[in-house]
Amino acid sequence: MGTVRNRVRLSRAEKQMTQEDLADMVGVTRQTIGLIEKERYNPTIALCLGLCRSLGKTLDELFWMEENDDTER
Amino acid sequence: MTQRDERIDADVRRVEGKAFVLLKWGVFAVLVVRWFVLGQTLAETWDFFAVWVVASLFEYFMYALRGVPMSYPVPLNRRDQLVFLATVPVVTGLLPVLILHLRGALTGWGHALGIFGRTYIAMLALFALYRAINAWWERRSLK
């Protein structure tokens, strides 16, 4: 499977929101938003949809899959 | 060859989590019965007590290492945090003093103050350690 990438930090900055603002809107902690932005935590589909709604983006604008390069194997 | 399934993995973790809670509080219940019903001493129950303390401290520090806020899932503002920090160590310090008093094992005010002081400081140290580990996790993971 590939790696899930996202554009949450950029979209949040466009909306001039802090991590805490976004966290309050979607009902998680500021730390979890930080981990998602760093791509160190893959949110559930429910949280992804909450983030899309809060940031005014569609799912594929905010999240996408980057295939791992397995050609060396 | 193994084949992982995210739904099954999540359910296995959930079941293991519930089993751990059951074991942790089961051992605690065993200790309470042995101490307060059967009248056994700490020396007689050290094996159960050691397992319980190690498991509890492991859980506590793993939460800190994984960046779980100390009061989770209750969000605390600055004032609530100060109230929490001021009251929990005091209550924790008073608890063993009260238990010893009810069992008639307190030898005087000095003894009571010594027990309270040690428990109070141990609790503050645990809180400070948790906060420091949390701050380290945040620097490492989010910055």
User: Which pLDDT does position A70 carry in this prediction?
Assistant: 56
Contact B138 A38 (CB under 8 A): no
Q: Shortest CB distance from A35 goes to which of B69, B75, B141?
A: B141
Q: How far is A21 from chain B (nearest CA, A)?
A: 14
Q: Shortest CB distance from B69 goes to which of A29, A35, A38?
A: A29
Search chain A and give the residue with CA nearest B71.
Answer: A29
**Tens digits of per-residue pLDDT, B6-51?**
889 999 999 999 999 999 999 999 999 999 899 898 899 999 999 9
Search chain B and give the residue with CA nearest A19.
Answer: B142
CA R_g for chain A: 13
pTM of the model: 0.81
The closest of B58, B65, B55, B66 to B25, measured between CA atoms, is B55
User: Which pLDDT does position A15 carry in this prediction?
Assistant: 95
Contact B141 A29 (CB under 8 A): no
Search chain B and give the residue with CA nearest A38.
Answer: B142
Summary mean pLDDT of chain B: 92
Q: Shortest CB distance from A38 goes to which of B72, B75, B141?
A: B141
User: Which pLDDT does position B141 carry in this prediction?
Assistant: 87
| Strand partners of residue A5 | A64
